[in-house]
Amino acid sequence: MYLSTYMYNCIWVFFPVFTIEFIRRERAALIAYLRRKDRILKLKRNIMSEEKMLKNQALIKLAYVAFNARNIDAILEVMHPEVKWPMAWGGGYANGHDEVRDYWEKQWKELDPHVTPVGFRERENGTLEVEVAQLVKDLAGNILFDGKVFHVYVINDGLLQRMEIEQ
């Protein structure tokens, strides 16, 4: 009976202290582990985001090169079938490949636009903002516009789905 009472007292006196210290150590180790894991996940997200950004930049650059070369077929290959494209010359939107083709063919009969991407920035909403040096001439060579504009893209499944123009 004496031993049982002694053990009973030891459990209540020593075990709670051991348990609290054990819990504190385990909690600190768990917090450190979660912080490391969070940093690793953030790094992975940043790497994936950077890879996606580089792919999107390459896609955009390809589209601008094809546009300046007046290669409509090459541009349409990087556009989503349900693309929504602003018609800066004339207003409104061209929807789908056929309307985009028609719009550019009409535009190029009267204008000679050249666009060069000079900066890229991913916006918080997931769109890609492209700073563009734009030179627009009429067919006689008169400069109609020479300046910078912003093209804002929605890219879906690795294809250009929508573009907006901002001054």
84 within a domain of the structure (yes/no): yes
Quote the number of domains for the chain. 1
131 within a domain of the structure (yes/no): yes
pTM: 0.71
- Write out the residue range of the structural domain in which residue 73 sits: 41-166
18 within a domain of the structure (yes/no): no
- Alpha-carbon span 165 to 94, nearest angstrom: 14
pLDDT, position 1: 47
CA contacts within 13 A on the Cβ side of 56: 23
- Alpha-carbon span 121 to 53, nearest angstrom: 9
Question: Which ranges of the chain have pLDDT less than 70?
Answer: 1-19, 22, 43-48
Which pair of tokens denotes residue 125?
Answer: 């909403």
Residue type present at position 36? R
25 within a domain of the structure (yes/no): no
126 within a domain of the structure (yes/no): yes
Tens of pLDDT, residues 77-122: 999 999 999 998 778 999 999 999 999 999 999 999 999 999 999 8
20 within a domain of the structure (yes/no): no
23 within a domain of the structure (yes/no): no
Which pair of tokens denotes residue 39?
Answer: 């940093």
69 within a domain of the structure (yes/no): yes
User: Cβ contacts of residue 31 below 8 Å, gap of 6+?
Assistant: none
Per DSSP, the three-state class of 149 is strand
- The enclosing domain of 160 has a CATH number of 3.10.450.50
